[in-house]
Each structure stands twice: as C-alpha cells, then as structure tokens.
Structure 1
Amino acid sequence: MRHPRPDDPDLPLADLMTRWPQTVPVFVRHRMLCVGCLVSPFHTVMDACTEYDLDEEAFLAELMQAADPG
C-alpha cells in the first residue's frame, strides 16, 4: 500500500491538512482560504496554487518543510 506524501499531486487539500495539520500555517501565511473550504476535499495543491497564482514548486517545498521539519 502506498503511503501518501504532502507532495502527492492527487492528494486533496482536506486530506493533506488532516494528515499533516502542521501544514495549515503555510496556507494561512499565504492568505489562502483553503483551510475549512468546502472545495478542499476536491482541490489539490496544484489547483490551489493556480487559484492563488503561487509558484507550485516553492509552495510544495514549504509544505514539505512543514510536514517534516527534521
């Protein structure tokens, strides 16, 4: 069985924030309304980056750092 990772392109945002709650401040820091959004079970990081005009690679790096700071 494959273990999900924060950078999984198919991982819905709701699942990402549930599994790695320490990533929530990354969304808040970027003033993203993804936390608690009704669409978060359907949107991915790529969708959110497109919506907020963010560099996906840089944003994913922040998420990965937050999810595993060690």
Structure 2
Amino acid sequence: MSKPDFDDPDLPLADLFAAWPLAAAAFLARGMLCPGCPIAPFHAITDACLEYDLDEDEFRADLEMLLSEG
C-alpha cells in the first residue's frame, strides 16, 4: 500500500500519523495535542495550524524536514 500524498491539503491528521509516525514529534514539540486526538480523523494540517495559531508554511517546512531525516 502506498503512502498518502503529504501535500494533499485535505489529508486527515490520523492518516498522516499512520503513514509517518515521526510526524507526531513535530506536533508535540509545539504543544499540539493532535496525535491521539479524537478529531484527528477530521482535521488536516491547515485546521491544526489555525487552531494553534501557527504559520502553516513554516510548520509544513519543519514537518517535511523532520520526515526527510527520519
């Protein structure tokens, strides 16, 4: 089974964490409680950034860097 498209703006966080477990570290490092949240199947990165008042482009860049290293 292939991984989902990381750049898909509608990619649910639950699918992101399932495909890239290391992604949880980027969220937790910023105090984001998305990993394990019951809303994760319904929210995407955009929703999380809005909820936590983060710059989405910056967060995505950090997340991509983390995933490329892991």
Q: Please, what TM-score do these two structures have when normalized by structure 2?
A: 0.88
Query: Deviations for 1:19-48, whole angstroms, at most 9, x for unmatched residues?
Result: 000111100000001010000000000000
Q: Percent identity?
A: 51
Residue-pair matches, total: 69
Cα contact 2:12–2:40 (8 A) shared by 1? yes
Deviation at 1:3, TM superposition (A): 5.4
5 Å matches for 1:1-70? Answer: 4-69=4-69
Unaligned runs of 5+ in 1: none
Q: Which has the higher contact order (CA 8 A, sep 6+)?
A: 1
Where has structure 1 moved over 4 Å in runs of 4 or more? none
Supply the RMSD in Å over aligned alpha carbons.
1.7
Unaligned runs of 5+ in 2: none
Q: Please, what TM-score do these two structures have when normalized by structure 1?
A: 0.88
